[in-house]
Structure 1
Amino acid sequence: MTVYFEDIEVGTTERFGQYEVTREEVIAFASRYDPQDFHLDDAAAAASIFGKIPASGWHTCGMAMNMIVSHWKECGTADASMGGLGMDEVRWPHPVYPGDVLRCEIEVLDKRPSASRPEMGIIKSRWSVFNQNDTLVMTLISNGIWRTRAGKSG
């Protein structure tokens, strides 16, 4: 069953996911997309504020997106997702390290139908990502586009 824009309620919170962060993945991502020395080199990381190699914040965003899309596929929401308009207030209050196991919470903050496109609506939600110790490692506000029942055939 597909979950459409109309089915999503403001104020709801979903908790899900389990993503184990590996050293190999942290270094591979950083090598390609955020090649700062403290993401790539043990000595540079030890001399930094992190003390050991941390994941890039952008990598943390990607790991969260992986958990979210997997969750949407499991619960029938993926077919109604039409992409996003952007993210606001991205924060990384605590580093993510290899060996951490991440999970997500998404709270629906607001929703509005599109004024010009009846096949879609906008959902504003807060994403919170926690590690295995329930330490908050990332927050952001997502502005997603969702298919309405009027747009289900297109």
Structure 2
Amino acid sequence: MAAPKLHLDGLKVGQVFHSAEYYVSADEITEFSAKYDPQPFHMDDELAKDSIFKGLAASGWHTVSITMNLLVKSLPLAHGIIGTGVEKINWLRPTRPGDILRINAKITEITISPARPDRARVNIHISTVGQDNKVRQELVGKLLIFRVSQSSGAF
């Protein structure tokens, strides 16, 4: 059964959302990197051994993409995850083949639009954590969220 869709009125500062787990394979790392971040330490395990990573490591952008996937599946917003920006992204340690990632997403701020009270900017702090409970990435995003009675889809 699908989770009920959330609107602005159903969110509060301090609320936390947790995702399911996501397994990261070596093939996925090399395929993503070949297409979007073709650097040797993301594409070839042997070459990666001589890099700062000392072995194959996912692109940070790949980790961001996995985070987005997990966020969409764990934060059921009625109008979708509409990002208006990212305040920060920190990659604290590399994502490796065999890692099992999950996210914890905490609402840190809700600012109702004075000009359009049917919507708000919601800041969300997302930690992407591995099976060892060590944070791989931290991201602070800004989302556009609507009230139940959204008057218009226009931005």
TM-score by length of 1: 0.91
Q: Deviation digits for residues 67-108 of structure 1, max 9, x if unmatched?
A: 111123xxxx23233511111110010100010000100111
Deviation at 1:115, TM superposition (A): 2.1
Structure with more helix by fraction: 1
Deviation at 1:118, TM superposition (A): 3.1
Q: Hey, what's the Cα distance between the residues in 1 that align with 2:110 and 2:128?
A: 22
Q: Which residue of 2 aligns with 1:53?
A: 56
Q: Which residue of 2 aligns with 1:20?
A: 23
Of 125-134 and 113-122, more deviation after overlay is shown by 113-122
Establish whether residue 39 from structure 1 lines up as the match of residue 39 from structure 2.
no
**Deviation beyond 6 Å, 4+ runs, structure 1:** none
Q: Hey, what's the Cα distance between the residues in 2 that align with 1:78 and 1:150?
A: 14
Q: Hey, what's the Cα distance between the residues in 1 that align with 2:64 and 2:28?
A: 14
Q: Which residue of 2 aligns with 1:151?
A: 150
Establish whether residue 90 from structure 1 lines up as the match of residue 101 from structure 2.
no
Give unpaired runs (5+ residues) of structure 2. none
Q: Which residue of 2 aligns with 1:131?
A: 130
Q: Hey, what's the Cα distance between the residues in 1 that align with 2:59 and 2:77?
A: 26
- Identity between Structure 1 and Structure 2 (%): 29
Instruction: State the number of aligned residues.
Output: 150
Q: Hey, what's the Cα distance between the residues in 2 that align with 1:70 and 1:16?
A: 7
- Alpha-carbon contact 1:17-1:103 (below 8 Å) kept: yes
Distance 1:122 1:20, change over 3 A: same
Give unpaired runs (5+ residues) of structure 1. none
Deviation at 1:119, TM superposition (A): 3.0
TM-score by length of 2: 0.90
Distance 1:15 1:136, change over 3 A: same
